[in-house]
Amino acid sequence: MSLLVADNIAVSFGGVKAVQDVSFTVNVGEVFSIVGPNGAGKTTIFNLISRIYDVDHGSIVFDGIDITKVPTHAIAELGIARTFQNTELFEQETVLKNMLIGCHIHRTSHLISELFFLPSVKRQELEMRRAVEEVIDLLDLQSYRDNVIGELPYGVRKMVEVARALCLRPKLLLLDEPSSGLNPEETEDLSFWLEDINEELGITVIMVEHDMNLVTQASDRILAMADGRTITIGEPEAVQNHPEVLRAYLGD
């Protein structure tokens, strides 16, 4: 069953065709990766899915809903969470606070009930804290929970960003270069966490990634792009050995 269907999507900026008529389907439970050289259009695809940009044409259907025109804020509510290529956390706040902020989107209480602190609000607050604690445990972040982001090593920050996205309890998680800036040991940890996120939490993942070892090890299928276009889509081995993929990476 497909969770996300991108059909013939395209967007240009001025003269630059960042994404040109790309189509792909991501199945429920998959780890689907997007690879390609710098400027291939990978992050732009995430920005189209998360409604930061409008498509010029084509459609994106998520969980049966055409999201091509939904407002940006509705994306998280529908169950899509993402991390950014350059981490975007509140530097002066603690890990815990950053995660609680990430959770807030899921609250349905209104101002009036919050003012009177009705039982429903209290219940949501407790649920939110429980969700945060679960994610802290899952990603082994206990020892950092009260640290201010600005004082943490880069590798930990990247995991906090993943953790914050998970607090939304998404159906689909978009990870933009999760391993960039990580050392080999941290990258290996990341691959285990990815497996937990995918298998234990049952979250479908789309990952943009340059580390081909991580990609081939973690992905069910891969979309390879260059210059805004699809080169090929398929299982890791086939994509890795595709002549045009080799050419895009290595040159002629």
Ligand X SMILES: Nc1ncnc2c1ncn2[C@@H]1O[C@H](COP(=O)(O)OP(=O)(O)OP(=O)(O)O)[C@@H](O)[C@H]1O
Chain residues binding ligand X by CB under 6 A are 13, 16, 18, 36, 38-44, 85
**Minimum CB distance to ligand X smaller for 119 or for 251:** 251
CB of 44 to ligand X, least distance (A): 3
Select the binding partner of residue 28 from Mg ion, ligand X, none (C-beta < 5 to 8 A, by kind): none
Select the binding partner of residue 187 from ligand X, Mg ion, none (C-beta < 5 to 8 A, by kind): none
Select the binding partner of residue 16 from ligand X, Mg ion, none (C-beta < 5 to 8 A, by kind): ligand X
CB of 13 to ligand X, least distance (A): 3
CB of 85 to Mg ion, least distance (A): 5
**Minimum CB distance to Mg ion smaller for 100 or for 174:** 174
**Minimum CB distance to Mg ion smaller for 85 or for 240:** 85
**Minimum CB distance to Mg ion smaller for 2 or for 85:** 85
CB 220 within 8 A of CB 32: yes
CB of 197 to ligand X, least distance (A): 22
Residues forming the site for Mg ion (CB under 5 A): 43, 85
CB 179 within 8 A of CB 211: yes
CB 16 within 8 A of CB 190: no
Select the binding partner of residue 13 from Mg ion, ligand X, none (C-beta < 5 to 8 A, by kind): ligand X
CB 72 within 8 A of CB 50: yes
CB 28 within 8 A of CB 1: yes
CB of 17 to ligand X, least distance (A): 8
* CA separation for the pair 57, 187 (Å, rounded): 36
What is the DSSP secondary structure assignment for residue 68, as one 8-state letter? T
Select the binding partner of residue 41 from Mg ion, ligand X, none (C-beta < 5 to 8 A, by kind): ligand X
**Minimum CB distance to ligand X smaller for 48 or for 100:** 48
SS3 221: strand
Taking every pair of Cα atoms in the chain, the longest distance, rounded to a whole number of angstroms, is 68
Q: Is 244 left (phi over 0), alpha (psi -120 to 50) or beta?
A: alpha
At 59, which helix (H) or strand (E)?
strand 57-62
**Minimum CB distance to ligand X smaller for 128 or for 175:** 175
Can you tell me which residue has the tokens 């020892």? Answer: 143
What is the DSSP secondary structure assignment for residue 194, as one 8-state letter? H
Select the binding partner of residue 236 from ligand X, Mg ion, none (C-beta < 5 to 8 A, by kind): none
